[in-house]
A and B are shown apart, each in its own frame.
Chain A
Amino acid sequence: MTRAALTTLTVAVLATCTSAGLAATPRAARPSVPVTQPLVILLQDHVARASASTHARVIEPVAAMRPLTQVRTVLPVMGAVRGKDGNRWIHVRLPGRPSGHTGWILADQTVRSSTEWRIVVKVSTRRVTVYRDGLVVRAFPAVVPKASTPTPYGQFFVEEALAISPHDPGGPYALAISARSDIFQEFEGGPGQIAIHGTGGLLDPLGSAASHGCIRISPAAITWMSSRIGGGVPVTVER
């Protein structure tokens, strides 16, 4: 064996040993969901289009303020490009029907932000899990929808957080999300909007499948969440 071949073999063996040793070393908990989510805050009303062009099909107008509490609209960002027209465009998730739809808005009149929070609702295990920096910080048992009034599955986001009157069901707080019921076009005067809210005034036990599309968690749990989680935070609803 030549000296060069011996050197190559030695390096290869060392590399194998090193990588094996590293693999055997215990690692810190690795995030199971993305660590942060880029967001964009709308400074004025926008128009969402099907692609990054002023000539693209208009999907819908997007108001700068959310309708229930008049807080500023915050949308999750999926990407950004400079269009052929020279404008900067942002690909965002949009609220409303069809649930989980997306569109492109001009970057003008917006401000960048991000969030380290994320919510995952797993309907089959009837559980709401809250992540921060990609790591689980809380998990709560939930009342999930009954089979006849399912909630949409997919990627959504918190539109706005709101305090609910003690005289109304579902208090003390609600996180109104961007999804809409596929069953109810209208419910209690609203557009069939899905929310994660409390069980105030509602008797179904946590862990049951009894709601009309919303996700209910204990008053303590929704109080904890609504004091930390605001507009734009991603919500994943899984089967």
Chain B
Amino acid sequence: MRFPIRSKRGRRAGLALVAGLACVVTAVTPQASAVGLGTAQSFVVLAGSTATNTGPSVLNGDLGVAPGTALVGFGLPAVVNGATHAADGVAAQAQLDLTTAYNVAASQPVPPGNVLTGTDLGNRTLGAGAYRYSTSAQLTGALTLDASGDPNAQFVFEIGSTLTTASASSVLLVNGASPCNVYWQIGSSATLGTTTAFQGNLMALTSISLNNGATVIGRALARNGAVTLNNNVLDNSRCSTGSTPGGGTTPGGGTTGGGTTGGGTTPGGAAETPAARSARLASEAARVSNPKSTTTRNGTTSFQRTPHATCTSGFRATVHGKLIKRVTFSLDGKKIQSNAKRPFVVFVRSLPGSHNVTAHVSFKDATRAKTLALGYRACADAVLRPKAGPSQFTG
């Protein structure tokens, strides 16, 4: 294409305009694209070799290991509010999806200005985009991630070797940033210091270690090595849609106002995923082949718990009934498991105190979906052991 600028003055102006445009283009940070976790999204902890816990950690999300088999120390006083998968097909598929997500994150283009090698992540504010450390990364203090009002803003950190945080460090999310959209691709291992308050999806090639009291709003996913916990809280409840087989919701759905929005699988909608489309077509085919399914209302349910003690460390909640299509269990309003096949059972454990467990039941025929509820009280530890501290009270 040619621009017929005939005068000298006009050519100068044209060059200035082109130079100005070039400046504008280089000043804009390219947005990172979404990293889909696939079936790994329901996991809050996923390890390659072994997952080990010490102390009263709380995991809100699924726990898994593959191809290793060892899950050590996740009985009481630890609490796992989610399903457990040890070297089964679900964990293996999640590892495959994690590998895909890891590679997608590692291949995000990084503008030269976003190469942070040799600098500390602490005490700085970063906008959405992809950032790179060609070697190790260190976080000392607070890192603020600013979404500038865009709830779908993506933050991707490509770290060549290790990620280490100092004690009491933190990742803060402001202006609509969501922990679901923060990805930490780590070339070897991550170590979170004592009481670090971390956010985002840790995806390490080797291992992840959380020191005493560290918390993660997001996920700790290790491809080949171990995940080691010590009195931690890990929560993916605002990002996960539960352990739905073949989930595949894009994390780009984001979180608005504390509620999780899924991947937008409306029939005919532009954002419908292949998995959702095939499920919808199968459902429509079943409806055509069995016209009674849209007219009969023969679905039944009952919701039972065992044991029946007034105060238990955990209990098994079971939904019985006819023509049940899917049961989605929630604990205190957060989805913990979704079953499309019998048995419709979930084992629930939680922090001491009173809790509500609900089961949302949908049916294969025209019976209206219903939500059943059970209350239970988780016992406090029989014996608490206070830590030592200074005697500096008024006496």
Interface residues of A (CB under 8 A from B): 36, 38-39, 41, 43-45, 64-65, 68-72, 82, 86-88, 107-109, 111-117, 149, 160-165, 168-171, 173-174, 176, 181, 184, 187-190, 192-195, 197, 202, 211-214, 226-230
Identify the stretch in B8-16, B262-270, B385-393 within 8 Å (CB) of chain A at 4 or more residues.
B385-393
Which B164-205 residues sit within 8 Å CB-CB of chain A? 170, 195, 197
- Tell me the nearest residue of chain B to A71, going by C-beta: B387
- Tell me the nearest residue of chain A to B142, going by C-beta: A45
Which residues of the other chain, A, contact B257 by a CB distance below 8 angstroms? 82, 86-88
Residue contact A162 to B387, C-beta cutoff 8 Å: yes
Tell which of B58, B233, B391 touches A165, judged by Cβ atoms closer than 8 Å.
B391
Q: How far, in angstroms, from A82 to B217 measured CA to CA in the complex?
A: 21
Instruction: Tell me, yes or no, whether B394 is within 8 Å of chain A by CB.
Output: yes
CB distance from A49 to the nearest CB of B (A): 16
Which B35-52 residues sit within 8 Å CB-CB of chain A? none
Identify the stretch in B69-77, B337-345, B347-355 within 8 Å (CB) of chain A at 4 or more residues.
B347-355
Tell which of A69, A173, A189 touches B392, judged by Cβ atoms closer than 8 Å.
A189
Which residues of the other chain, B, contact A88 by a CB distance below 8 angstroms? 257-258
Interface residues of B (CB under 8 A from A): 58, 60, 170, 195, 197, 213, 215, 217, 233, 235, 256-258, 332, 351-354, 377, 380, 383-395
Tell which of A72, A107, A168, A197 touches B213, judged by Cβ atoms closer than 8 Å.
A72
CB distance from B236 to the nearest CB of A (A): 13
- Tell me the nearest residue of chain A to B389, going by C-beta: A162
Residue contact B195 to A111, C-beta cutoff 8 Å: no
- Tell me the nearest residue of chain B to A164, going by C-beta: B391
Which residues of the other chain, A, contact B377 by a CB distance below 8 angstroms? 116
Q: How far, in angstroms, from A71 to B389 measured CA to CA in the complex?
A: 11
CB distance from A95 to the nearest CB of B (A): 14
Residue contact A43 to B387, C-beta cutoff 8 Å: no
Residue contact B215 to A44, C-beta cutoff 8 Å: yes
CB distance from B385 to the nearest CB of A (A): 7
CB distance from A34 to the nearest CB of B (A): 12
The 9 closest A-B pairs by CB, nearest first: A190-B392, A114-B353, A162-B389, A213-B394, A44-B197, A161-B386, A168-B391, A68-B389, A195-B393
Evaluate whether A174 and B353 lie within 8 angstroms (CB atoms) in the complex, with A44-B170, A228-B380 already known: no
Residue contact B258 to A108, C-beta cutoff 8 Å: yes
